[in-house]
Every structure is written in C-alpha cells, then in structure tokens.
Amino acid sequence: MKLGIVGLPNVGKSTLFNSLTKGGAESANYPFCTIDPNVGIVTVPDSRLNYLAKIYNSEKILPAAIEFVDIAGLVKGASKGEGLGNQFLSHIREVDAIVHVVRCFEDGNIIHVEGSVNPLRDIETINLELIFSDLEVLERRIQRTQKAAKADKSLQAELGILEILKKELEEGKCARNLSWESPDEQSFVNSLNLLTQKPVLYAANVTEEDLTTDGKDNIFVQTVKDFAWAEGSEVFTICAKIEEEIAELDDEEKIIFLEELGIQDTGLDRLIAASYRLLGLISYLTAGPKETRAWTITKGTKAPQAAGKIHSDFEKGFIRAEVISYQDLIDCGSYTLAKEKGLVRLEGKEYIVQDGDVILFRFNV
C-alpha cells in the first residue's frame, strides 16, 4: 500500500511524515522546502504476530508494510505549473490513496500561504488543482476516443463515461463521488488513474489540547468532518508535533507518554486503521519456525488469489488451504491441539479469506 501525503505548504505534512517514518524530511517555515518527494516505509503494528511467533518459535517476524510519500505543498495554479505543481501532481498519480493534511490550528509564528486558517478553503484549493489536472487528462482521452469511435462503435460507451466525468469535474465535483451502474464501468474509470478518483483520508492537524478531546471543541475540525462525511471520506485528528516527539521514544516510554496525554493510540495507529478501512484491506497470517508474517489483501479475496500474494505458483497450483482463526489458535495454544479439537478447516478455491485467518496453503506445480 502506498499513501501520498498532500496539502498546502506549511500545514504540517513533512512534520507528519517525519513522525510516521522517522525519515528526516526537511521541515521549514517556508513554502516548497520539499521539492523531491520523500519516501518512507512503515511496518504495520500487529500484536497478533508476536503471539504467533511465540507459539511457532519463529526466527523472525515480518509485518505488513505501508509506503508513505511526502509530496510537496500544492498551491493555486499547481495544475498550470505554479510552485512546480505539475511535477508534484505526477507523484500523486502513483499512490493508492491520499492523506490530505489540513491545518486546523492558529499560530502566528507559522506562515499560512493564504494569510489565514480556513480548512474548507484549503481543501477546495487542493481539490480544484486535482480537478484541473484530471480535466486535461480527460480532454486528451476524449479527443482520442472520438477519433477511434468513428471506426469502432463499441467505444461509444467509453466515450459516454468520459463525457459524464468531464461534466462532473467541470462542476467542481471529484470523480470518487460518482457511482457507476456496472463493475465494467467502474473498472474503466479506475483504469484512467484520475487524481480525484483516489480515496482520501483527511488528517486534521491540531494542537496538543485539541488532540486530547479529538478536536470536539475545534470548529475547524468539525467543518472538515462535515465536509468529509458528505463525500464519504474519513477524518482523524493528529498533532504532528506530538507525533514527532512520540516517534523518538521507545515502546515503554511511548505507553507512558500516551497515558499522560490521555490518548490510547498514536497518529500512526489511527492512520493505518483508517487507511485499511478506506481501501477495504485485511491481513491474513502465516506462521512457522522460519517466520511469522502478515499478508495484506482486499476484503473478498478468495483463497487461491490470497495464496498468490506469497508466490504466483501458490495460486496456479492451489489445492486447498488449511485455515484456523487467530483467536482459536491462541485459545488452544498450539496448532496440534487446535487440529485435535477440529478447529482447523480445509477450504477450497471458493473460500473467502477473513481477517486474522492463519493459513497453510497446499499446492502442486
């Protein structure tokens, strides 16, 4: 999974990136201090792996991973090249989802490129630049399809979808807010790789005081939540500065620090949970003496395709899957005992893998 962190300059993007990845991205109080995208890999916290590794005496633990890309601050005119915008927009096309950092705090010492704090205006600025960029893509695609459709009438359906998208974008709407009648239509829209089609998580960057109350008394946060709710997106509050401090602590210090703040999860934990929900992802687990590992798949994935995540040969030669739920295995304390109790199931090609399934794949190539 690859997440792109975007927002206006000086909203806390690079500070958040640093806290998530300890990547040391430059963070300064002036626009465009981030020019090339910073990239960091973060492992997904999953306590289940530790328990499984003890049962199997695994030599190593391999959690799932997320790649974060810190993309430079966008400004008005980015789609026309303002602030090196075209270059930055191209980086967004490569991600699975967008983490849109929105400034929801007042601080006279930190410059705002628009001169004042206004989250909805800031969101609209970013969205419009993404829309303008998508319109350019659509206009070129429409021209090509119109020419090709003269010889191939089957392309008329695609042309109709492109025209609908263009009309909606011209009205200031994002492609992700549109619904399509058939999976084929949705698949075609997905193939266009539009910026406004990508799912969005809004990260409301707040002060330490607002973090402890989840921004309930912060009018800026509430306006972002209302906006996100209307378009079916998620919002989570974060204090980028606090997250940067948390990132420097060891596990024990981190627990104490969070308790003192009165919060249970770090911003990274909340971001990962929200991104999994947003993208419809789950994890299944494999375990043995060599390694215990988490594998990320989309909800609804069948056993052979889940096996293909490990190796293509597993999918091609799939015979069956030996499956037990994580909780059943932990309750039994060993795979052998779980098998004796009849808790290990043999599943075939139509089995839909569930979150927390511990699986041993049988295959023959």
Q: Give the pLDDT of the chain (365 residues) as one tens digit per residue.
A: 889 888 887 788 878 887 877 744 444 333 333 345 677 888 888 899 999 999 999 999 999 988 888 876 555 554 454 443 445 567 778 889 999 999 998 876 665 666 678 999 989 988 888 898 899 899 999 999 999 988 888 889 899 999 999 999 999 999 998 888 899 999 999 999 999 999 999 999 998 888 877 778 899 999 999 999 988 888 988 888 888 888 888 878 888 988 888 888 888 888 888 889 888 999 999 999 999 999 999 999 999 999 999 999 999 999 999 999 999 999 999 999 999 999 999 999 999 999 999 999 999 87
Q: Looking at residue 350, what DSSP letter applies? A: T
DSSP string covering 115-172: SS--HHHHHHHHHHHHHHHHHHHHHHHHHHHHHHHTT-GGGHHHHHHHHHHHHHHHTT
DSSP string covering 297-332: EETT-BHHHHHHTT-HHHHHTEEEEEEEEHHHHHHH
DSSP string covering 27-82: --SSTTS--SPEEEEEEPP-HHHHHHHHHHT-SEEE--EEEEEEPPPP-TTGGGTG
Q: Looking at residue 352, what DSSP letter applies? A: B
Other C-beta atoms closer than 10 Å to the C-beta of 334 total 11
pTM of the model: 0.81
Measured CA to CA, the distance from residue 134 to residue 333 in angstroms comes to: 53
Measured CA to CA, the distance from residue 75 to residue 316 in angstroms comes to: 48
210, 106 contact by CB (below 8 A): no
The tokens for 191 are 């193939």
Nearest to 137 by CA among 176, 100, 158, 165: 165
Give the strand order in the sheet containing 97-103. Answer: 38-43, 65-70, 2-6, 97-103, 200-205, 234-238
7, 101 contact by CB (below 8 A): yes
Give the strand order in the sheet containing 345-347. Answer: 60-62, 291-298, 281-287, 357-363, 318-325, 345-347
The tokens for 219 are 């009018």
